[in-house]
Amino acid sequence: MTWIDDPAFGPDRPFGPQTLPYGVLETDSGPAVCVRVGDHALPLRGLAPELGAELAGVVSGGSLDPLLAAGNTQWTALRARIAEVVTSDRRPDGAELLPVDEHRMLLGFTVADYVDFYSSRHHAENVGRMFRPDSEPLLPNWTHLPVGYHGRAGTVVVSGTDVVRPDGQSRPPGDEMPSFGPSKRLDIEAEVGFVCGGAPTSRVGTAEIADHVFGVALVNDWSARDIQPWEYQPLGPHLAKSFATSIAGWITPLAAFVDARVEPPKPDHALQDYLVEKEPWGLDLHLEVRCNGTPVSRPEFRYMSWSPAQQLAHMTVNGATVRPGDLFASGTVSGPDQDQYGSLLELTWAGKEPLVLDGGEQRTFLEDGDTVTVVGHAPGPDGSVVGLGAVTGTIVAAEPR
């Protein structure tokens, strides 16, 4: 029997003791680093006697930054200690439990650099067919390295933040001159993000991911599909994707995913040594995308061709360092089936096949007022489920000009 009186906190529930994600909540006495237990958040600042001075020191404030910097030894020790505290029958003096739906979550860490990959073969082929109908859908580099681009760290926002429809240039097919205005093809990209920590290091081996990835969080990489095809050649995505990227407030430690590890699909040729995995780091994550409450897609992460360990190895192989607060995202998670696509671009085939939402409304791209939520879960130990915190956002009208 645990002292935590919450039916949603059990080994058979997604936010049971096998999960224990971290996040920062706004509380009456300021932002607080918390661990999620069922439908409650447990601020760690009240647990100094239980955690000991050293561990308490990294989680007693209002940001995850000190914890990200502390490194894997401390992450492991803290998680083990918290698991003991939350499964004990003794309520620690000073422990508070805050209902998660009554408190706002904050962006829990300072996003350092943000890299977005492109690791779903299905997504890459679908986008290739739509954006480059006269070329091979997959460029020859794609099976040899995890293609990615550098995003804009400063516009990563926490789940629940409204997303303002971006303005930009586009050139609709057949037009000679570009026009300017609010995007008419605002889209989502359901992705999985990896939050980095530990000592700044370059040339991270695929076997060293656990020393440099602190945790996993769902991401929605909002994308303007009319701005994108006009601006992206030859350097890649820019303003079509830099106005907002939403990340879930709850970051689940990488250690919670040991039972979710699977072999990623293999290319039919040898890889460079630095991309070879001795132990597979593909992940069996199940995602669901909801538009105004209607499930519109169920992407499966196990189809991703490049694992986060390979992505991190690639990101640092040239000598670039990974440092605490760096965020890299998987790329849109699309599976082979039409109901597994991670973007509206694919789900509606460039707007030609509208989705029908509950209540009969149709959607191609997003309208003002639409809310998109991505949820997910993974297999946990002993048949349990590891819940991933939701990432949600609502579109608001473009800024008046």
Instruction: List residues with catalytic annotation.
Output: 123
The verdict on 18 binding ligand LGMQ2O6W (CB under 6 A) reads no
Q: Is 211 annotated as a binding residue?
A: no
Question: The tokens 């350092």 sit on which residue?
Answer: 112
Closest approach, Cβ 117 to ligand LGMQ2O6W, in A, equals: 7
The verdict on 187 binding Ca ion (CB under 5 A) reads no
Tell me the chain's radius of gyration from C-alpha atoms: 21
Question: The tokens 């932002």 sit on which residue?
Answer: 31
Would you state the structure tokens that stand for residue 302, as one six-digit string? 């196990």
The verdict on 231 binding Mg ion (CB under 5 A) reads no
State which amino acid sits at residue 101: D
Q: Is 245 annotated as a binding residue?
A: yes
SS3 for 10-42 is CCCCCCCCCCCCEEEEEECCEEEEEEEECCEEE
Alpha helices (runs of H) in 36-109, residue ranges in sequence order: 48-51, 53-59, 65-70, 72-87
For ligand LGMQ2O6W, the binding residues in 362-391 under the rule CB under 6 A are none
The verdict on 223 binding ligand LGMQ2O6W (CB under 6 A) reads yes
Q: Is 232 annotated as a binding residue?
A: yes
Per the DSSP assignment, residues forming a β-bridge with 181 are 168
Identify the CA nearest to 193 among candidates 221, 154, 229.
Answer: 221
For ligand LGMQ2O6W, the binding residues in 302-341 under the rule CB under 6 A are 331-332
**Structural contact between residues 348 and 355, judged by C-beta atoms closer than 8 angstroms:** yes
DSSP state of 264: P
Pairing of strands 355-356, 252-253: unpaired
Q: Tell which one of 237, 253, 335, 393 touches ligand LGMQ2O6W (CB under 6 A).
A: 237
Would you state the structure tokens that stand for residue 401, as one six-digit string? 């000009």
Residue 118 site contact among Mg ion, ligand LGMQ2O6W, Ca ion, none (CB < 5 to 8 Å, cut-off depends on kind): ligand LGMQ2O6W
Residue 206 site contact among Mg ion, ligand LGMQ2O6W, Ca ion, none (CB < 5 to 8 Å, cut-off depends on kind): none
Would you state the structure tokens that stand for residue 198, as one six-digit string? 């530990």
Identify the CA nearest to 40 among candidates 103, 84, 82.
Answer: 103
Residue nearest Mg ion by beta-carbon distance = 245
* Spatial separation of the C-alpha atoms in residues 354 and 298, rounded to whole Å: 17
Q: Tell which one of 50, 113, 116, 277 touches ligand LGMQ2O6W (CB under 6 A).
A: 116
The verdict on 241 binding Mg ion (CB under 5 A) reads yes
The verdict on 127 binding ligand LGMQ2O6W (CB under 6 A) reads yes
| C-alpha 172 chain-centroid distance | 31
H-run or E-run covering 211: helix 209-212
Question: The tokens 């059990």 sit on which residue?
Answer: 10
The verdict on 215 binding ligand LGMQ2O6W (CB under 6 A) reads no
Closest approach, Cβ 374 to Ca ion, in A, equals: 13
Q: Closer CB to Ca ion, residue 65 or residue 226? A: 226
Residue 232 site contact among Mg ion, Ca ion, ligand LGMQ2O6W, none (CB < 5 to 8 Å, cut-off depends on kind): ligand LGMQ2O6W
Instruction: Build a one-symbol-per-residue string for 88-127: x at contacts with Ca ion by CB under 5 A, - elsewhere.
Output: ----------------------------x-----------
The verdict on 290 binding ligand LGMQ2O6W (CB under 6 A) reads no
The verdict on 221 binding Mg ion (CB under 5 A) reads yes
**Structural contact between residues 126 and 83, judged by C-beta atoms closer than 8 angstroms:** no
Q: Closer CB to ligand LGMQ2O6W, residue 3 or residue 230? A: 230
Instruction: Build a one-symbol-per-residue string for 162-201: x at contacts with Mg ion by CB under 5 A, - elsewhere.
Output: ----------------------------------------
The verdict on 245 binding Mg ion (CB under 5 A) reads yes
Stretch that binds Mg ion, among 233-241, 280-288, 332-340, 392-400 (CB under 5 A): 233-241
How many residues in the shown chain lie near Mg ion by CB under 5 A? Answer: 3
* Spatial separation of the C-alpha atoms in residues 392 and 4, rounded to whole Å: 27
What own/partner pairs with CB < 8 Å and gap ≥ 24 does 172-176 have?
172/226
Count CA atoms within 13 Å of residue 325 on its CB side.
14
Question: Which residues of the shown chain bind Mg ion in the complex (CB under 5 A)?
Answer: 221, 241, 245
Question: Which residues of the shown chain bind Ca ion in the complex (CB under 5 A)?
Answer: 116, 189, 221
Question: Which residues of the shown chain bind ligand LGMQ2O6W in the complex (CB under 6 A)?
Answer: 116, 118, 123, 127-128, 131, 189, 191, 221, 223, 232, 237, 241, 331-332
